[in-house]
Homo-oligomer: A and B are copies of this chain.
Amino acid sequence: MSLLVVGSLALDTIETPFGKVDEVLGGAATYISIISSYFVKNIQLVGVVGSDFPEKGIELLKNNNIDLQGLVKIEGGKTFRWSGKYLHDMNQRETLFTHLNVFEKFNPKLPDEYKKSEYVCLGNIDPVLQQKVVEQVEKPKLIVCDTMNFWIEKKLTELNSTLKIIDVLIINDSEAKILANDSSIILSAKKILKMGPKILVIKRGEHGSTIYSDSFMFSIPAFPTEKVVDPTGAGDSFAAGFISYIASKNSISEDILKNALINATLMASFCVEGFGVNGILNLDKNDIENRLNKFRTILKLPSA
Protein backbone atom coordinates (compact mmCIF):
# COMPACT_ATOMS: atom_id res chain seq x y z
CA MET A 1 0.00 0.00 0.00
CA SER A 2 1.37 3.43 -0.82
CA LEU A 3 0.28 6.89 0.21
CA LEU A 4 1.30 9.93 -1.79
CA VAL A 5 1.56 13.13 0.24
CA VAL A 6 1.89 16.57 -1.28
CA GLY A 7 2.11 19.75 0.74
CA SER A 8 4.41 22.33 2.18
CA LEU A 9 7.65 21.75 4.02
CA ALA A 10 8.20 24.82 6.09
CA LEU A 11 10.12 26.62 8.75
CA ASP A 12 7.56 27.81 11.29
CA THR A 13 7.82 30.52 13.88
CA ILE A 14 5.09 29.97 16.45
CA GLU A 15 3.98 31.81 19.55
CA THR A 16 1.38 30.48 21.97
CA PRO A 17 0.60 31.34 25.62
CA PHE A 18 2.95 28.47 26.47
CA GLY A 19 6.03 29.66 24.64
CA LYS A 20 7.66 30.58 21.35
CA VAL A 21 9.73 28.65 18.84
CA ASP A 22 11.66 30.01 15.85
CA GLU A 23 12.05 28.44 12.44
CA VAL A 24 11.14 24.93 13.52
CA LEU A 25 10.35 22.12 11.10
CA GLY A 26 6.75 22.42 9.92
CA GLY A 27 4.48 22.39 6.90
CA ALA A 28 1.50 20.26 5.91
CA ALA A 29 3.55 17.55 4.16
CA THR A 30 5.82 17.20 7.19
CA TYR A 31 2.96 16.67 9.66
CA ILE A 32 1.01 14.45 7.26
CA SER A 33 3.89 12.17 6.44
CA ILE A 34 5.08 11.82 10.05
CA ILE A 35 1.59 10.87 11.28
CA SER A 36 0.99 8.56 8.30
CA SER A 37 4.24 6.73 9.03
CA TYR A 38 2.55 5.15 12.07
CA PHE A 39 -0.03 3.46 9.85
CA VAL A 40 1.38 3.10 6.32
CA LYS A 41 4.78 1.74 5.27
CA ASN A 42 5.19 3.32 1.89
CA ILE A 43 4.85 7.11 2.12
CA GLN A 44 5.84 9.11 -0.91
CA LEU A 45 6.43 12.78 -0.30
CA VAL A 46 6.11 15.49 -2.94
CA GLY A 47 7.32 18.96 -2.07
CA VAL A 48 10.00 21.57 -2.43
CA VAL A 49 12.53 23.15 -0.09
CA GLY A 50 15.26 25.75 -0.44
CA SER A 51 18.94 25.23 0.19
CA ASP A 52 18.39 26.67 3.67
CA PHE A 53 16.28 23.67 4.70
CA PRO A 54 18.10 22.04 7.61
CA GLU A 55 19.71 18.67 7.06
CA LYS A 56 18.26 17.45 10.36
CA GLY A 57 14.76 18.02 8.91
CA ILE A 58 15.65 15.68 6.05
CA GLU A 59 17.10 13.19 8.51
CA LEU A 60 13.96 13.28 10.63
CA LEU A 61 11.77 12.47 7.63
CA LYS A 62 14.13 9.71 6.48
CA ASN A 63 14.14 8.22 9.97
CA ASN A 64 10.37 7.98 9.73
CA ASN A 65 10.76 5.89 6.55
CA ILE A 66 9.39 8.57 4.28
CA ASP A 67 10.33 8.27 0.62
CA LEU A 68 11.91 11.59 -0.42
CA GLN A 69 12.42 10.94 -4.13
CA GLY A 70 9.72 13.50 -4.81
CA LEU A 71 11.29 16.19 -2.64
CA VAL A 72 12.92 18.88 -4.75
CA LYS A 73 15.67 21.07 -3.33
CA ILE A 74 16.14 24.41 -5.09
CA GLU A 75 19.72 25.52 -4.78
CA GLY A 76 19.82 29.15 -3.71
CA GLY A 77 16.08 29.10 -3.02
CA LYS A 78 14.45 29.85 0.31
CA THR A 79 12.20 27.40 2.11
CA PHE A 80 8.52 28.25 2.72
CA ARG A 81 8.11 30.15 5.99
CA TRP A 82 5.07 30.68 8.14
CA SER A 83 4.56 32.48 11.41
CA GLY A 84 1.49 32.44 13.63
CA LYS A 85 0.44 33.56 17.07
CA TYR A 86 -2.22 31.93 19.22
CA LEU A 87 -3.96 34.09 21.76
CA HIS A 88 -5.32 33.09 25.16
CA ASP A 89 -8.21 31.35 23.42
CA MET A 90 -6.23 28.78 21.44
CA ASN A 91 -9.14 28.33 19.04
CA GLN A 92 -8.11 31.57 17.36
CA ARG A 93 -4.87 32.29 15.65
CA GLU A 94 -3.33 35.20 13.87
CA THR A 95 -1.08 34.53 10.90
CA LEU A 96 1.85 36.90 11.22
CA PHE A 97 3.31 36.09 7.79
CA THR A 98 3.34 33.49 5.02
CA HIS A 99 6.33 33.50 2.67
CA LEU A 100 5.71 30.99 -0.11
CA ASN A 101 9.31 31.34 -1.39
CA VAL A 102 10.24 28.19 -3.38
CA PHE A 103 6.55 27.17 -3.44
CA GLU A 104 5.72 30.12 -5.69
CA LYS A 105 7.15 28.47 -8.78
CA PHE A 106 6.80 24.85 -7.76
CA ASN A 107 5.70 22.56 -10.56
CA PRO A 108 5.35 19.09 -9.05
CA LYS A 109 6.61 16.20 -11.21
CA LEU A 110 6.03 12.79 -9.75
CA PRO A 111 8.75 10.13 -9.89
CA ASP A 112 7.42 7.15 -11.91
CA GLU A 113 7.07 5.02 -8.80
CA TYR A 114 4.78 7.61 -7.20
CA LYS A 115 2.34 7.52 -10.13
CA LYS A 116 1.12 4.12 -9.00
CA SER A 117 0.10 5.38 -5.55
CA GLU A 118 -3.30 4.10 -4.40
CA TYR A 119 -3.93 6.77 -1.78
CA VAL A 120 -3.31 10.48 -2.21
CA CYS A 121 -3.33 13.16 0.47
CA LEU A 122 -3.40 16.68 -0.92
CA GLY A 123 -2.15 18.92 1.87
CA ASN A 124 -3.32 22.48 2.16
CA ILE A 125 -1.55 24.14 -0.80
CA ASP A 126 -2.56 25.98 -3.96
CA PRO A 127 -5.44 24.03 -5.60
CA VAL A 128 -3.60 24.30 -8.94
CA LEU A 129 -0.69 22.32 -7.49
CA GLN A 130 -3.15 19.83 -6.02
CA GLN A 131 -4.64 19.27 -9.49
CA LYS A 132 -1.23 18.86 -11.09
CA VAL A 133 -0.43 16.08 -8.66
CA VAL A 134 -3.75 14.28 -9.14
CA GLU A 135 -3.35 14.37 -12.93
CA GLN A 136 -0.14 12.38 -12.67
CA VAL A 137 -1.49 9.58 -10.47
CA GLU A 138 -2.67 6.69 -12.62
CA LYS A 139 -5.34 4.84 -10.61
CA PRO A 140 -5.88 6.40 -7.21
CA LYS A 141 -8.30 4.55 -4.94
CA LEU A 142 -8.94 7.56 -2.72
CA ILE A 143 -7.93 11.21 -2.89
CA VAL A 144 -8.26 13.30 0.26
CA CYS A 145 -7.93 17.08 -0.02
CA ASP A 146 -7.35 19.69 2.66
CA THR A 147 -7.80 23.38 1.94
CA MET A 148 -8.37 26.66 3.79
CA ASN A 149 -10.16 30.01 3.63
CA PHE A 150 -7.18 31.60 1.84
CA TRP A 151 -7.75 29.43 -1.27
CA ILE A 152 -11.54 29.68 -1.02
CA GLU A 153 -11.22 33.45 -1.16
CA LYS A 154 -8.32 33.83 -3.60
CA LYS A 155 -8.62 30.85 -5.97
CA LEU A 156 -12.23 29.73 -5.90
CA THR A 157 -12.39 28.80 -9.60
CA GLU A 158 -9.28 26.65 -9.31
CA LEU A 159 -10.51 25.14 -6.04
CA ASN A 160 -13.84 24.25 -7.67
CA SER A 161 -11.94 22.34 -10.35
CA THR A 162 -9.96 20.49 -7.69
CA LEU A 163 -13.17 19.61 -5.85
CA LYS A 164 -14.40 17.78 -8.95
CA ILE A 165 -11.47 15.37 -9.03
CA ILE A 166 -11.14 14.45 -5.36
CA ASP A 167 -13.05 12.00 -3.16
CA VAL A 168 -12.84 13.52 0.31
CA LEU A 169 -12.70 17.19 1.25
CA ILE A 170 -11.58 18.15 4.76
CA ILE A 171 -12.26 21.71 5.92
CA ASN A 172 -13.29 23.50 9.09
CA ASP A 173 -16.78 24.75 9.87
CA SER A 174 -16.23 28.43 9.11
CA GLU A 175 -14.56 27.53 5.80
CA ALA A 176 -17.47 25.23 4.92
CA LYS A 177 -19.91 28.09 5.45
CA ILE A 178 -17.82 30.43 3.28
CA LEU A 179 -17.44 27.82 0.54
CA ALA A 180 -21.17 27.04 0.52
CA ASN A 181 -22.25 30.61 1.23
CA ASP A 182 -24.67 29.44 3.89
CA SER A 183 -24.93 30.03 7.63
CA SER A 184 -26.21 26.55 8.47
CA ILE A 185 -23.56 23.89 8.79
CA ILE A 186 -25.97 21.14 7.70
CA LEU A 187 -27.09 22.98 4.59
CA SER A 188 -23.48 23.94 3.83
CA ALA A 189 -22.50 20.27 3.97
CA LYS A 190 -25.29 19.32 1.56
CA LYS A 191 -24.21 22.01 -0.89
CA ILE A 192 -20.53 21.04 -0.77
CA LEU A 193 -21.38 17.39 -1.43
CA LYS A 194 -22.86 18.59 -4.72
CA MET A 195 -19.62 20.36 -5.69
CA GLY A 196 -17.69 17.14 -6.27
CA PRO A 197 -16.46 15.33 -3.17
CA LYS A 198 -18.35 12.15 -2.27
CA ILE A 199 -17.30 12.56 1.35
CA LEU A 200 -17.02 15.76 3.35
CA VAL A 201 -15.29 16.04 6.71
CA ILE A 202 -15.95 19.21 8.68
CA LYS A 203 -13.59 19.99 11.55
CA ARG A 204 -15.02 22.04 14.39
CA GLY A 205 -11.94 22.59 16.55
CA GLU A 206 -12.59 21.87 20.20
CA HIS A 207 -16.17 20.95 19.25
CA GLY A 208 -15.12 17.88 17.27
CA SER A 209 -15.76 16.85 13.70
CA THR A 210 -18.42 15.42 11.43
CA ILE A 211 -18.32 13.26 8.34
CA TYR A 212 -21.04 13.66 5.73
CA SER A 213 -21.94 11.66 2.65
CA ASP A 214 -25.16 11.22 0.71
CA SER A 215 -25.93 8.08 2.69
CA PHE A 216 -24.72 8.75 6.23
CA MET A 217 -23.34 11.23 8.71
CA PHE A 218 -21.29 10.66 11.86
CA SER A 219 -20.21 13.22 14.39
CA ILE A 220 -17.70 12.95 17.20
CA PRO A 221 -16.29 15.31 19.82
CA ALA A 222 -12.66 16.32 20.03
CA PHE A 223 -10.55 14.12 22.27
CA PRO A 224 -10.66 15.89 25.64
CA THR A 225 -6.98 16.64 26.00
CA GLU A 226 -6.18 19.10 28.75
CA LYS A 227 -2.69 19.86 27.54
CA VAL A 228 -3.07 22.09 24.48
CA VAL A 229 0.23 23.87 24.00
CA ASP A 230 0.37 24.48 20.23
CA PRO A 231 -2.42 23.77 17.72
CA THR A 232 -0.08 24.19 14.70
CA GLY A 233 -0.32 21.15 12.44
CA ALA A 234 -3.46 19.78 14.10
CA GLY A 235 -5.41 20.02 10.84
CA ASP A 236 -2.64 18.26 8.91
CA SER A 237 -2.36 15.56 11.58
CA PHE A 238 -6.12 15.15 11.41
CA ALA A 239 -6.08 14.69 7.61
CA ALA A 240 -3.19 12.27 7.94
CA GLY A 241 -4.91 10.25 10.65
CA PHE A 242 -7.94 10.03 8.38
CA ILE A 243 -6.36 8.87 5.14
CA SER A 244 -3.65 6.71 6.65
CA TYR A 245 -6.24 4.73 8.61
CA ILE A 246 -8.12 4.02 5.38
CA ALA A 247 -4.92 3.23 3.52
CA SER A 248 -3.88 0.82 6.29
CA LYS A 249 -7.17 -1.07 5.80
CA ASN A 250 -6.94 -0.72 2.01
CA SER A 251 -10.72 -0.66 1.89
CA ILE A 252 -13.43 1.99 2.04
CA SER A 253 -16.67 1.31 3.91
CA GLU A 254 -18.94 3.35 6.14
CA ASP A 255 -17.39 1.79 9.26
CA ILE A 256 -13.86 2.36 7.99
CA LEU A 257 -14.63 6.01 7.24
CA LYS A 258 -16.06 6.44 10.74
CA ASN A 259 -13.05 4.79 12.34
CA ALA A 260 -10.84 6.99 10.16
CA LEU A 261 -12.56 10.04 11.68
CA ILE A 262 -11.83 8.67 15.15
CA ASN A 263 -8.19 8.11 14.23
CA ALA A 264 -7.99 11.61 12.72
CA THR A 265 -9.25 13.05 16.00
CA LEU A 266 -6.72 11.12 18.06
CA MET A 267 -3.82 12.18 15.86
CA ALA A 268 -4.83 15.85 16.13
CA SER A 269 -5.00 15.45 19.91
CA PHE A 270 -1.40 14.22 20.07
CA CYS A 271 -0.28 17.04 17.81
CA VAL A 272 -1.58 19.90 19.99
CA GLU A 273 0.22 18.55 23.05
CA GLY A 274 3.66 19.63 21.85
CA PHE A 275 5.26 22.56 20.04
CA GLY A 276 5.66 22.06 16.31
CA VAL A 277 6.09 18.40 15.43
CA ASN A 278 7.17 17.48 18.98
CA GLY A 279 3.71 16.19 19.85
CA ILE A 280 3.69 13.67 17.01
CA LEU A 281 7.25 12.36 17.08
CA ASN A 282 8.00 8.95 18.55
CA LEU A 283 4.40 8.10 19.35
CA ASP A 284 4.17 4.77 21.08
CA LYS A 285 1.74 2.16 19.71
CA ASN A 286 0.49 1.62 23.27
CA ASP A 287 -0.16 5.32 23.79
CA ILE A 288 -2.22 5.39 20.59
CA GLU A 289 -4.09 2.24 21.61
CA ASN A 290 -4.80 3.53 25.13
CA ARG A 291 -6.08 6.85 23.85
CA LEU A 292 -8.28 5.04 21.33
CA ASN A 293 -9.79 2.89 24.09
CA LYS A 294 -10.40 5.92 26.29
CA PHE A 295 -12.02 7.77 23.39
CA ARG A 296 -14.26 4.86 22.43
CA THR A 297 -15.49 4.73 26.04
CA ILE A 298 -16.49 8.40 25.79
CA LEU A 299 -18.23 7.79 22.46
CA LYS A 300 -20.09 4.66 23.52
CA LEU A 301 -23.82 5.01 23.02
CA PRO A 302 -25.95 4.07 26.06
CA SER A 303 -28.40 1.22 25.58
CA ALA A 304 -31.81 2.50 24.58
Contacts and interface: CB of A to CB of B under 8 A. Distances in A.
A59 interface: no
Contacts of A259: 302, 304
A228 B182 CA distance: 13
A255 interface: yes
Nearest to A190: B226
Interface stretch (A28-36, A130-138, A200-208, A276-284): A200-208
A175 to B, nearest CB: 15
Given A207-B208, A208-B207, A303 B224 contact: no
A256 B304 CA distance: 9
Interface stretch (A99-107, A141-149, A214-222): A214-222
A299 to B, nearest CB: 5
B224 A208 contact: no
Interface in A282-304: 296, 298-304
Interface in A215-269: 216-221, 224-226, 228, 254-256, 258-259, 262
A116 to B, nearest CB: 30
B302 A255 contact: yes
Interface residues on A, range: 35 or more
Task: Tell which of A89, A186, A218, A221 has the most Cβ of chain B within 10 Å.
Answer: A221
Given A217-B298, A254-B302, 4 more contacts: A219-B221, A255-B302, A262-B302, A296-B304
Interface string A165-207: 0000000000000000001111100100000000000001011
B208 A221 contact: yes
A44 interface: no
A219 B208 contact: yes
B299 A183 contact: no
A186 B90 CA distance: 13
Given A88-B183, A207-B208, A301 B298 contact: no
A304 B220 CA distance: 15
A254 B301 CA distance: 11
A210 interface: yes
A296 B256 CA distance: 19
A226 B217 CA distance: 14
Contacts of A187: 226
A30 to B, nearest CB: 26
A89 B206 CA distance: 20
B183 A218 contact: no
